[in-house]
Chains A and B, each alone.
Chain A
Amino acid sequence: MRAARRGLAAALTCAALAGCLRDLDPYLEERHTVAGGKAGEGPAAMRVYGCGSCHTIPGVRGADALVGPPLAGFAHRRYIAGRVPNQPDELVRWILHPQGVKPGTAMPDLGVTGQDARNIAAYLYTLK
């Protein structure tokens, strides 16, 4: 009986720790904060600019295309466009002006505003 209780306690502790580790992954939290970005407004902005016509994006209605890479798990990607490290300032720069980051890429400059780019970047970092 006591052994079973101890086992249960151990299991609960493990589960709690695993949950914490997952939620508080220091690498992601620290590296993936977009100053001034409101993640909740990202999906609406992405619908306006038409991101979903090329990308599959979890949480964005109608975004199921495969022209460009699917963006599920974006927070875990190490590179953007296979060229620059996946960091908030680089991501915002990429969304604003992909042709400047990687001239000749198929991803067009979409005339995204600074605030929209920050909102989109913040949302993409919620995709874990």
Chain B
Amino acid sequence: MRPLSAARPRLPLAACALLAGGCVGTGVQDVLAPRGPQAERIADWFWISFALAVAVFVAFVAVLAYGLLRARRLGERNELPPAHGRNLVLWGGLVVPTAILLVLLVLSAYTDRRISRLGRGAGPEPLTIEVVGEQFWWQVRYLDPAHPHREFTTANEIHVPTGRPVRLLLESRDVIHSFWVPNLHGKTDLIPGRTNDLVFQVDEPGVYRGQCAEFCGTQHARMALLVEALPPAEFAAWWERQLRPPAPPTDSVRVKGRDVFMKNGCGVCHSIRGTPARGRVAPDLTHFASRRTIAAGTLPNTRGHLGGWISDPQGIKPGNRMPAVPLKGEELQALLDYLHSLK
């Protein structure tokens, strides 16, 4: 059975889109807009259970309507013969529901098996990425065991090639989080002390949004991430760019900005490759300027938002681990210049 594809017009989808005010099936964070084989199978499964639920609902309403009309027509002579009543309860309450639930159970197990086999075994070697959840952001490490010098760390954005399976190793450094990018796969928990894995594949280039799906603390709602799928050649070029540390600043304002960064202890938590900043408890900022968002998908990465974030991280995301550092106005300007030069 070929899975439903996004390109084929789908009647139930269209009906649902109307029902939901047209916001279904198009979004960047949307279970009903699958962009890979795993998500397609989950969407198939959703539509099957949705169709069954609709069928049950329609049948139930039909029987109810029949009963009401019959009662009105027959008045006092409304009682069913005992055998009929017993059969109705037996079939409607036991046999048919059991059969439907069994069908759902079997289909569910079948879907799960199909998904768990995808991208494993035969086929192209999956790309392995380690994702570590922390309150309230994601550390992303690209692994290449054969060439350890080609590994690197970034945060809150996962770039992947299209058409190749991606295997995520999911870990947590504090509490239980859950990784969920609805366009690409279901949820998988990140559990302290163990490594879960999740294999997905993206077939269409694009940016998809995900977020933590297990309540993990005060800023759980602002623990988001982006997955950007690139054609393989572009992905390879992106990887090469990530390996290169940013060029040391040359103009005086950026040099000052780097000094502000180092003197105020930012490097105790953050790292920037090629500098003394080697902190490991906060997002790696080596290529910070190329990221789309700050604070794990909380705000667009613009100068204005970044200025506000550095000046008052607790105002924007109360309870996160970043402290405000008192800076003079010109120090803040220089720091913004420096950070946005880290391409």
Question: Which residues of A are interface residues toward B (Cβ below 8 A)?
Answer: 48-54, 65-67, 99, 103-111
B333 touches A53 (CB 8 A): no
Indicate whether B329 reaches chain A with its CB closer than 8 angstroms: yes
B315 touches A66 (CB 8 A): yes
B303 touches A53 (CB 8 A): no
Contact of B304 among A53, A66, A104 (CB under 8 A): A53
* Majority DSSP secondary structure for residues of A touching B: loop
A54 to B312, CA, bound (A): 8
What residues of chain A lie closer than 8 Å to B308, measured between beta carbons?
50, 52-54, 65, 67
> How many CB-defined contacts (below 8 Å) exist between A and B?
68
B330 touches A54 (CB 8 A): no
Chain A proximity mask over B300-343: 1 for CB below 8 Å, otherwise 0: 10111111110110011000000000011110110010000000
B303 touches A108 (CB 8 A): yes
Among A53, A66, A104, A109, the most chain B Cβ lie within 10 Å of the Cβ of A53
Contact of A50 among B302, B329, B330 (CB under 8 A): B302
Question: Which residues of B are interface residues toward A (Cβ below 8 A)?
Answer: 299-300, 302-309, 311-312, 315-316, 327-330, 332-333, 336
Q: Smallest CB–CB gap between A64 and chain B, Å?
A: 8
19 pairs from A and B in contact (CB 8 Å cutoff): A48-B302, A50-B299, A50-B300, A50-B304, A50-B305, A50-B308, A53-B316, A54-B304, A54-B308, A65-B312, A67-B311, A104-B328, A104-B333, A106-B311, A106-B327, A108-B304, A108-B307, A109-B303, A110-B302
A53 touches B329 (CB 8 A): no
B305 touches A53 (CB 8 A): yes
A51 to B299, CA, bound (A): 12
A48 to B309, CA, bound (A): 15
* Majority DSSP secondary structure for residues of B touching A: helix
A65 touches B304 (CB 8 A): no
Q: Smallest CB–CB gap between B132 and chain A, Å?
A: 27
Q: Smallest CB–CB gap between B139 and chain A, Å?
A: 24
Given contacts A50-B308, A66-B315, contact A110 B303 (CB under 8 A): yes
A103 to B306, CA, bound (A): 19
A52-B308, A106-B311 known; 10 new pairs, CB 8 Å cut-off, are: A50-B306, A50-B307, A50-B308, A51-B304, A65-B315, A66-B315, A103-B330, A106-B333, A107-B307, A108-B332
What residues of chain A lie closer than 8 Å to B329, measured between beta carbons?
104-107
What residues of chain A lie closer than 8 Å to B299, measured between beta carbons?
50, 53
Contact of B316 among A65, A104, A108 (CB under 8 A): A65
Residue of A with least CB distance to B332: A106
Contact of A67 among B300, B312, B333, B336 (CB under 8 A): B312
What residues of chain B lie closer than 8 Å to A50, measured between beta carbons?
299-300, 302-308
Q: Smallest CB–CB gap between B313 and chain A, Å?
A: 10
What residues of chain A lie closer than 8 Å to B311, measured between beta carbons?
54, 67, 106
A120 to B311, CA, bound (A): 23
A105 to B307, CA, bound (A): 12
Q: Smallest CB–CB gap between B241 and chain A, Å?
A: 24
A53 touches B307 (CB 8 A): yes
A50 to B305, CA, bound (A): 5
Contact of A49 among B302, B309, B312, B315 (CB under 8 A): B302
Among B304, B306, B311, B336, the most chain A Cβ lie within 10 Å of the Cβ of B304
